[in-house]
Amino acid sequence: MIFSAVPVILYDWIFKKYAKPGMTILDPHVGGGSSRMAAYKAGLNYIGFEMDPVCYRDQEDRFLNFKEQLQYV
């Protein structure tokens, strides 16, 4: 699996600056799932695609861990 991880904080900034409430983020290359996490934090809808099943499972685990951690913040 090779992907370029983009920091969640970068997506936080992009979504805060350009997305409006109720918008849907479409990510054709989910990769590490950073955009998914930022969309979730911002309350945006999210649709993502990932062709590599290993990469998908890894980001799914990362996302579920992320959601669990947010419960304690």
28: helix, strand or coil: coil
Mean pLDDT of the 41-63 span? 95
Helices and strands: H and E segment counts in the chain: 3, 2
Chain segment 12-21, per-residue pLDDT in tens = 999 999 999 9
Domains and CATH numbers, the chain: 8-70 (3.40.50.150)
Selected residue with higher pLDDT from 71 and 30: 30
Chain segment 1-43, per-residue pLDDT in tens = 556 678 999 999 999 999 999 999 999 999 999 999 999 999 9
pLDDT of residue 53: 93
Q: Are 1 and 53 in contact (CB under 8 A)?
A: no
